[in-house]
Amino acid sequence: MNRSLHFAVVILNWNGLAHLRRYLPSVLATEYDHWDCILVDNASNDESVSWVQSYAGDRVRIVQLDKNEGYTGGYMEGLKQVQADVYVLLNSDVEVAKDWLMHLNNFMVSKPELAAVQPKILSDRDRDKFEYAGACGGMVDGLGYPFCAGRVFTDLEADHGQYDKPRQVFWVSGACMVVRAKAFWECGGLDTDYFAHMEEIDLCWRLQRAGHRLMTCPQSVVYHWGGGSLTYGSPRKTYLNFRNSLFTITKNLAPKECLIRVWSRLWLDGLAAVFFLSQGSVGDFVAVIKAHGAYYRALPQLIQKRRASNMPWIPLNAMRGVWPGRIWPYLGMGDAGRRKMLVKLMAFVESLALKSP
């Protein structure tokens, strides 16, 4: 491979001193010549910026924002000041292998039709397992519920090399999103109304609607701690996930299927809220109710975004990385039922793999 793309590894920070101390050294140890490291700081009030300045010097360029813009707003403001062929939106709690960018470069150079790529994301809590946020590439089911190669809801697989073939996916993880800058801006970038969570699925859906392809590059490996900004199980995270998932399907589903699938999701969300309450998770129950209230208030604006979109409307089941079945019954299944569904999902995931990597 004799061509080198220019990568900008952009880390968004908000009071992340502990994570930066733990994970930034591995990023700066990257063995690749054509790349820059940029820290976009969301108005932190800890010592994270001064520590990076002292530790890294001119190896890290710092872009400081005046207020906490969230994940989406922080990246949108920061990336306006970054020039590169490829952006890598990297969480601050991610450790990378030394050759991670080399593999990503070789893969993207060999496949210029790709708009976005994801490495294999393993857990830094248990390095034999995939990590929740993206695992080895994201898919959705026929109702738009996300799942991953290596993760269904909260069940994580051990990595045995079963997903080591590059494969087409519906979405790539926001924990380590590798996206060509030109495609990113042409498709509108991240929607700042999301603040955080599900924004990568919305962007990837728009990339596909614009005719782009997305894939995994599992030869590139990173380790994600997870829950660096909002801990897993946080009602705030529940709120953002439920609200933003409704935002995403309302913005992107084709007209003929939008109403029925949004209605189905609203009904299933109600069942999820009742389940949370039955388990004593009052905070999550309230979060779902609040998410629906926020969705209804935002609905006029979401309809305006649909009307303003100039991208083709593509039926969900006609897109890459969409399993035509439904994954929500998995939550109510016993072990035998879950194993049967996992066999079907793994067969589907395998069908997306390149035959000759």
133: tokens are 């946020």
Q: Report pLDDT for 41.
A: 98
For the chain, how big is the Rg over CA atoms in Å? Answer: 20
Cβ atoms 338, 155 nearer than 8 A: yes
Q: Please enumerate in sequence order all residues whose Cβ is within 8 A of that of 59, keeping only pairs 6 or more positions apart, or say none.
A: 28, 37
How would you write the pLDDT of the chain (357 residues) with one tens digit per residue? 468 999 999 999 999 999 999 999 999 999 999 999 999 999 999 999 999 999 999 999 999 999 999 999 999 999 999 999 999 999 999 999 999 999 999 999 999 999 999 999 999 999 999 999 999 999 999 999 999 999 999 999 999 999 999 999 999 999 999 999 999 999 999 999 999 999 999 999 999 999 999 999 999 999 999 975 656 678 999 999 999 999 999 999 999 999 999 999 999 999 999 999 999 999 999 999 999 999 999 999 999 999 999 999 999 999 999 999 999 999 999 999 999 999 999 999 999 998 644
Q: For residue 286, which amino acid is it?
A: V
Cβ atoms 153, 34 nearer than 8 A: no
| pTM to 2 decimal places | 0.95
Q: Report pLDDT for 233.
A: 72
- Rounded to the nearest 10°, the torsion over CA 292, 295, 297, 301 is -170
Q: Report pLDDT for 223.
A: 98
Q: For residue 155, which amino acid is it?
A: D
Q: Where are the domains of the chain?
A: 7-224
Cβ atoms 134, 214 nearer than 8 A: no
7-224 architecture in CATH? Alpha-Beta Complex (3.90)
Q: Report pLDDT for 354.
A: 80
pLDDT digits (tens, 9 = 90+) for 304-319: 999 999 999 999 999 9
CA 309 to chain CA centroid, nearest Å: 22
Q: Report pLDDT for 357.
A: 41
For every residue of the chain, which 3-state class applies, written as one string? CCCCCCEEEEEEECCCHHHHHHHHHHHHCCCCCCEEEEEEECCCCCCHHHHHHHHHHHHCEEEECCCCCHHHHHHHHHHCCCCCCEEEEECCCEEECCCHHHHHHHHHHHCCCEEEEEEEEEECCCCCEECCCCCCCEEEECCCCEEECCEECCEECECCCCCCCCEECCECCCCEEEEEHHHHHHCCCCCHHHCCCCHHHHHHHHHHHCCCEEEEEEEEEEEECCCCCCCCCCHHHHHHHHHHHHHHHHHHCCHHHHHHHHHHHHHHHHHHHHHHHHCCCHHHHHHHHHHHHHHHHHHHHHHHHHHHCCCCCCCHHHCCCEECCCCHHHHHCCHHHHHHHHHHHHHHHHHCECCCC
Q: Report pLDDT for 229.
A: 61
- Rounded to the nearest 10°, the torsion over CA 296, 298, 303, 309 is -140
